[in-house]
């Protein structure tokens, strides 16, 4: 079975500081990993994905993620956080044995203070 | 272009009532997914359609849950005899194919009283 874990319920960071949201995964075979963001009363918005290739993946709104096979991690990063980045972030893995359904982590609430 | 839309955005049902939740996917998207998101948790897969065919319904929690997509476009998730544990946000997502990026709608928040 494939799964992802997000070890932090909440991350607090000051505006302008680097932001990191952690995700570890457990898969059989090659992982297909995703990050989504959810703002209040809105659906999930796609940020970026790792399928294959470069370990550093660049996505929307200045976010990037680093795939680390040896540590089975896929941490989301942003060099300089904005107050508007405050939201709920989900890591997900695509189940390769099914029709593409996503398995999500529990989510990490990011709070960026001015 | 237009994204995925869902209606109603909010639904309050009394325990035992039937509800129907609608999803309008992005035009031309073959794949359609339904997820259930309980409070404070990540979304959980319910069911998958490819065009009008329901290819995976392994996530439906009970036989009270039924989904359809008769013409391969709009989909409806129906919950019969709602229970309090059905209270959640129901998310719909579509993609151009099963391995494409999934685009999510805003969700329907169902509250069963």
Question: A13-64 pLDDT, tens per residue?
Answer: 999 999 999 999 998 888 899 999 999 877 899 999 998 888 999 999 999 9
Question: Which letter does DSSP use for residue B74 in this model?
Answer: -
Residue A84 phi, psi (nearest 5): -70, -10
> CA of A88: how far to CAs of A79, A94, B32, in Å?
18, 19, 23
Nearest chain A residue to B46, by CA: A101
User: How far does the CA of residue B82 sit from the closest CA of chain A (Å)?
Assistant: 22
Conformation bin of residue B63: beta by default, left when phi > 0, alpha when psi is -120 to 50 = alpha
> CA of A14: how far to CAs of A89, A108, B57, B71, B104, in Å?
17, 16, 43, 49, 29
- Tokens for A58, please give them: 């660049």
pLDDT tens profile A55-113: 999 999 999 999 999 999 999 999 999 999 999 999 999 877 677 889 999 999 999 99
User: How far does the CA of residue A13 sit from the closest CA of chain B (Å)?
Assistant: 21
Conformation bin of residue B51: beta by default, left when phi > 0, alpha when psi is -120 to 50 = left
* B82/A contact by beta carbon, under 8 A: no
Q: What pLDDT is recorded for position A23?
A: 98
Which residue has 């069963």 as its token pair? B112
Contact between chains at B41 and A43 (C-beta distance less than 8 A): no
Q: What pLDDT is recorded for position B85?
A: 96
Q: What pLDDT is recorded for position A29?
A: 81
Which of chain B's residues have a Cβ under 8 Å away from the Cβ of A41?
106
* A45/B contact by beta carbon, under 8 A: yes
Q: What is the mean pLDDT of residues B13-32?
A: 97
CA dist., res. A61 & res. A83, Å (int): 13
Q: What pLDDT band is residue B1 in, cutting at 50, 70 and 90?
A: low
Question: Which letter does DSSP use for residue B25 in this model?
Answer: P
Closest CA to A87 of A64, A61, A68: A61
């Amino acid at each position: 079975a494939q799964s992802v874990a997000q070890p932090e319920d909440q991350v607090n960071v000051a505006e302008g500081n680097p932001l990191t949201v952690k995700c570890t995964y457990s898969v059989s075979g090659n992982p297909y990993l995703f990050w989504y963001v959810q703002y209040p009363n809105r659906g999930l918005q796609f940020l970026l994905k790792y399928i294959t290739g470069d370990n550093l993946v660049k996505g929307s709104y200045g976010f990037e993620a680093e795939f680390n096979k040896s540590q089975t991690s896929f941490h989301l990063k942003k060099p300089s956080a904005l107050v508007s980045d405050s939201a709920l972030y989900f890591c997900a893995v695509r189940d390769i044995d099914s029709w593409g359904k996503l398995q999500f982590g529990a989510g990490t609430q990011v709070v960026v203070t001015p | 272009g237009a994204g995925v839309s869902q209606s109603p955005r909010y639904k309050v049902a009394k325990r035992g009532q039937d509800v129907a939740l609608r999803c309008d996917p992005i035009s031309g998207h073959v794949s359609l997914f339904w997820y259930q998101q309980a409070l404070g948790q990540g979304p959980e897969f319910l069911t998958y359609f490819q065009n009008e065919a329901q290819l995976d319904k392994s996530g439906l929690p009970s036989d009270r849950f039924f989904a359809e997509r008769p013409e391969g476009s709009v989909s409806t998730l129906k919950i019969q005899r709602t229970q309090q544990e059905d209270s959640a946000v129901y998310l719909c997502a579509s993609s151009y194919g099963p391995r494409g990026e999934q685009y999510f709608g805003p969700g329907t928040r169902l509250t069963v009283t």
